[in-house]
Amino acid sequence: MTYDLFIGDRLFSSWSMRGWLMLEKFGLPYRNYMIGLYSGTMTEDMKPLAPARLVPALRLPDGTMVGESLAMAETLAERHPEAGLWPTEPAARVAARWLCAEMVAGFAALRGECPMQLKHCWQEFEPSQETQADLKRIETLWAHARIVSGATSGPLFGHYSLADVFYTPVAARIIGYGLPVSEANRDYCLELLSDPTVRQWRAMGMTVDYDPFPYALALPSSAWPIGGQSEAHTVEGGPSVNDTCPYSGKPVTHFLELNGQCWGFCNQFCRDKTVADPGAWPKFTEMTAAVNHS
């Protein structure tokens, strides 16, 4: 039983990120396929998935297509009641559904003015009145979630749920554009973005070179605050400390250097995602720790 998930891009496609998180964070099995969101092949790539039109799109194991993130979320929650996608407590579930629905339908100013990007943090960005109003509304909804759930910090409903999935790209906007929210809500945003799963998503996104950089602003930028200042860099050849790839166990062909040591991987993508954020990958950190602590 495996789902097929179709996504467009990792650094910039907020809806793709939600689609991925709703499978990955709840341990649901899936294969990932890339759609040419920025390469000009999107219409052609989506043809076999009709009538799905946008990313993300989900194909169920029996071949049924589901478009729209909220429909995907409800379908997965219904098919996997044990996975805890929605909060179990009825009042919390009502509120979580509400928050997700309002995310899909709302916040036009924030979404238009601050397109999601996970590369770096823009500095000196000045949000419009409309975007500030969207932020106030988001903080009102998050406060409502915390009143309903009693959770004063961490996931909005005490346990990680679809509400946190749907607001992770909002957290990326708040941090990536330095938008004004309360200290507690900024901490919540940083916590969402520090999740190892989110770090891995970003690291995979960082393997792509964009020219021109989408949604560029004429503003200074600073490093992404989580895993953003990697000490690793690619190197042409070995020998590496390891003979086999930490991820696949296959012989190594691509190399990076970290803290004066050379490490190998079985393909460029796995090497580059590790260069982007070495600390995001437990199999790599376990391998380096085993060697350096032996």
Ligand X SMILES: N[C@@H](CCC(=O)N[C@@H](CS)C(=O)NCC(=O)O)C(=O)O
Q: Which residues are near ligand X by CB under 6 A?
A: 8, 13-16, 54-55, 68-70, 104
Structure tokens at 264: 């190998």
Q: Of the two residues 104 and 241, which places its CB atom closer to ligand X in the complex?
A: 104
Least distance CB 77 / ligand X (angstroms): 15
What single string gives the DSSP state of each residue in the chain? --EEEEE--SSS-HHHHHHHHHHHTTT--EEEEE--TTTT-HHHHHGGGTT--SSSEEE-TTS-EEESHHHHHHHHHHH-GGG-SS-SSHHHHHHHHHHHHHHHH--HHHHHHS----SEEESS----HHHHHHHHHHHHHHHHHHHHH---SSSTTSS--HHHHHHHHHHHHHHHTT----HHHHHHHHHHHHSHHHHHHHHHHTTS--SSPTT--SS-EEE-TTT-S---EEES----S-SB-TTT-PBP-EEEEETTEEEEESSHHHHHHHHH-GGG-HHHHHHHHHHHT-
Least distance CB 15 / ligand X (angstroms): 4
Least distance CB 43 / ligand X (angstroms): 8
Least distance CB 250 / ligand X (angstroms): 33
Q: Of the two residues 25 and 271, which places its CB atom closer to ligand X in the complex?
A: 25
Q: Of the two residues 20 and 157, which places its CB atom closer to ligand X in the complex?
A: 20
Q: Of the two residues 127 and 169, which places its CB atom closer to ligand X in the complex?
A: 169
Q: Of the two residues 89 and 113, which places its CB atom closer to ligand X in the complex?
A: 113
Least distance CB 23 / ligand X (angstroms): 14
Q: Of the two residues 113 and 257, which places its CB atom closer to ligand X in the complex?
A: 113
Least distance CB 86 / ligand X (angstroms): 17
